[in-house]
Amino acid sequence: MTKADIFEKVQNEMELTRREAAELVEAVFAIMKSTLESGENLKISGFGNFIVKQKADRRGRNPQTGEAITIEARRILTFKPSGLLKAAINK
């Protein structure tokens, strides 16, 4: 499913114009993105949790040369689905 498909489904479900549906979905995505960018976790009841985790520096190696390198610290995003979403998927 693409973003355009989501626009279309919202348009049909809520009887909005395509432009209104696109603005609504884009606004929701913008709020989600800014929340996660700030490092906050995002919980959507009945859907799941988006969790921002901090990874520390670590040692690694270049697989082509075997040279030891340092992999810099970074933040990663994980998703943990809710029990309701898991149940719906596994029906």
Residue 58 CA to residue 72 CA, distance in Å, equals 7
In a shared domain, residues 45 and 76: yes
At position 87, the amino acid (one-letter code) is A
Residue 9 CA to residue 47 CA, distance in Å, equals 18
Residue 7: per-residue pLDDT: 94
What pLDDT, in 10s, does the model give residues 59-84?
999 999 999 999 999 999 999 999 99
In a shared domain, residues 4 and 48: no
Residue 69: per-residue pLDDT: 93
Count of domains in the chain?
2
Residue 49: per-residue pLDDT: 97
Residues 6 or more apart whose Cβ sits within 8 Å of residue 47: 81, 82, 84, 85
Asked whether the beta carbons of 10 and 21 are under 8 A apart, the reply is: yes
In a shared domain, residues 85 and 65: yes
Q: Which residues of the chain have pLDDT under 50?
A: none
Range of the domain at 30: 1-38
Residues 6 or more apart whose Cβ sits within 8 Å of residue 80: 48, 49, 51
